Amino acid sequence: MREFMSISKALADENRVRMLMALRDGELCVCQITGLFGYVPSTVSKHLSILLQARLVESRKEGRWIYYQLPDKKARAMVRQALRWVQKSVSDSPQILEDHRQLKKILKLDPVELCRRQCH
């Protein structure tokens, strides 16, 4: 029951669902996610920590940067089912399609420069 409630809480916020959808094509650093959403890093980190707690994302640290990705195929069944449901339900949403277009632009930017701009 605890796992279900954690996943439900994580999916109850539009921004977190949008973050999951942004990660469907691969790993992103926090700076890239922050650039996509235009929020302050602390807001993005809070959302990502809720997703991480629900095991809907995984993270790794490399130097100063933290990268997030969707869990691999070894994830628990409930997590895999929730992610499939989200992707099927909102993949053609206008907001998700716009996020995807914006993310393509962000991915062309140098992550180091992107992070530098957000920190100053």
In 3D space, the residue among 16, 9, 65 whose CA is nearest the CA of residue 43 turns out to be 16
Instruction: Give the tens place of pLDDT for each residue, 102-117.
Output: 999 999 988 777 777 7
Treating both helix axes as pointing N-terminal to C-terminal, what angle do 77-90 and 14-22 enclose, rounded to 10 degrees?
A: 100
Instruction: Give the tens place of pLDDT for each residue, 39-85.
Output: 888 999 999 999 999 999 999 998 888 999 999 888 899 999 999 99
Q: What structural domains and CATH numbers belong to the chain? A: 2-119 (1.10.10.10)
Cβ atoms within 10 Å, residue 94: 7
Per-residue confidence (pLDDT) for residue 63, from 0 to 100: 85
Average pLDDT, the chain: 91
Instruction: Give the tens place of pLDDT for each residue, 2-14.
Output: 888 999 999 999 9
Which residues in the chain belong to E strands, given as ranges? 28-29, 58-62, 65-69
Per-residue confidence (pLDDT) for residue 23, from 0 to 100: 97
Residue pointed to by tokens 């990502």: 48
DSSP state of 24: G
Per-residue confidence (pLDDT) for residue 119, from 0 to 100: 59
Which amino acid is present at 119?
C
Instruction: Give the tens place of pLDDT for each residue, 26-50.
Output: 999 999 999 999 888 899 999 999 9
- Dihedral, 7, 11, 13, 19 alpha carbons, nearest 10: 110
